[in-house]
């Protein structure tokens, strides 16, 4: 017959001797009609959360590692139960029941470090997707291991957006074509501050500086020179007096002429100067108009780059 102390309770984080073990003990009593069997089998029994050691006289002790996640995640009012079976010499079994009580963790903010700033520059767009982009990684520690993560989200800022995942990897992108960015001059900046959050609600700001750059406003003049044609397209003679003028068609794409200029000049050698054309590549063709208003086909195309 086994009697005595066969249950007990321990509480998360209550560890008086500071060895990170939650401990309790007791003593079972035993009587047996055969005096030689009134004893316990000395052993250590492994339970679900800890272990119980008992000697032959029934003294037992139980210990559970306090740092186990299953224990640390217990809230106040929530318990775990560990049932451990001991045996007497004659094979009689008896269960020792240990209750593990949970407690709420003390509220403490996560500690966030890592790369929390960066800079981008107007018109610097290596992949050509019209986005100014930069990224980094935040690091996080928390007294509650399950809260050492970030809320995955996309945060909208004043000039762009930042996307962060649970492990802290973030990427920021701003549309390069925004007027507020394109109007920046060299030396001028914009600042975008975006707030991210850990699972426990701790906030942290990522700061992006957008640098301006002077626009490429270079321009130049182009002069075209040509000689009046002496023949019509049907190979008949074309006198200078029959020429009313010329028309220049031009554009920035080969074979596509979005602009034109009419020149009312029928002289033998004609010069025309385009002034202040922005930097770029231009394609030109010329047609001749006679005094009856008929216009020739395009001349061979001329191309130049400023």
CB 268, CB 279: distance < 8 Å: no
pLDDT in tens, 239-298: 888 899 999 999 999 999 989 999 888 778 888 999 888 878 899 999 999 999 899 999
Do 28 and 73 lie in one domain? The reply is yes
* pLDDT score recorded for residue 107: 62
* pLDDT score recorded for residue 175: 97
CA distances from 252 to 1, 157, 306 (A): 104, 37, 11
* pLDDT score recorded for residue 31: 94
Do 14 and 82 lie in one domain? The reply is yes
What is the number of structural domains in the chain?
3
Do 49 and 77 lie in one domain? The reply is yes
CATH number at residue 16: 2.60.40
CB 8, CB 99: distance < 8 Å: yes
* pLDDT score recorded for residue 217: 54
Dihedral sign computed on CA atoms, order 114, 116, 119, 120: positive
pLDDT in tens, 103-122: 987 667 899 999 999 999 99
CA distances from 278 to 23, 218, 250, 252, 253 (A): 83, 6, 14, 11, 14
* pLDDT score recorded for residue 13: 92
Final residue belonging to a domain, choices 165, 193, 211: 211
Final residue belonging to a domain, choices 178, 211, 244: 211
Secondary structure in 3-state letters for 243-272: EEEEEEEEECECCECCEEEEECCCCCEEEE
Regions in the chain scoring below 50 on pLDDT: none
Domain that holds residue 37: 2-101
């Amino acid at each position: 017959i086994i009697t005595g102390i066969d249950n007990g309770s321990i509480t998360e984080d209550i560890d008086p001797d500071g060895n990170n073990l939650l401990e309790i003990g007791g003593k079972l009593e035993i009587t047996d009609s055969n005096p030689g069997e009134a004893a316990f089998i000395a052993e250590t029994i492994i339970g679900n959360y800890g272990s119980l050691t008992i000697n032959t006289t029934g003294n037992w002790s139980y210990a559970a590692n306090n740092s186990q996640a299953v224990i640390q995640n217990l809230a106040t009012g929530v318990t775990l139960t560990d049932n451990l079976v001991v045996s007497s010499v004659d094979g009689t079994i008896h269960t020792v029941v240990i209750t593990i009580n949970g407690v709420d963790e003390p509220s403490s903010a996560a500690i966030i470090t890592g790369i929390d700033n960066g800079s981008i520059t107007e018109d610097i767009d290596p992949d050509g997707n019209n986005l100014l982009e930069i990224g980094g990684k935040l690091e996080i520690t928390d007294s509650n291991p399950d809260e050492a993560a970030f809320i995955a989200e996309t945060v909208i800022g004043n000039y762009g957006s930042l996307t962060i995942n649970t492990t802290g990897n973030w990427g920021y992108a701003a549309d390069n074509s925004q007027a507020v960015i394109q109007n920046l001059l060299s030396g001028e900046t914009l600042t975008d501050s975006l707030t991210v959050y850990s699972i426990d609600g701790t906030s942290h700001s990522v700061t992006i500086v957008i640098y301006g750059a002077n626009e490429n406003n270079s321009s130049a003049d182009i002069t075209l020179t040509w000689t009046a044609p002496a023949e019509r397209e049907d190979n008949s003679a074309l006198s200078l007096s029959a020429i009313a003028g010329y028309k220049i068609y031009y554009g920035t794409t080969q074979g596509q002429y979005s602009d034109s200029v009419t020149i009312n000049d029928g002289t033998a050698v004609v010069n025309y100067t385009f002034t202040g054309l922005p930097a770029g590549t231009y394609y030109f063709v010329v047609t001749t108009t006679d005094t009856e208003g008929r216009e020739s086909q395009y001349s061979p195309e001329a191309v130049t780059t400023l």
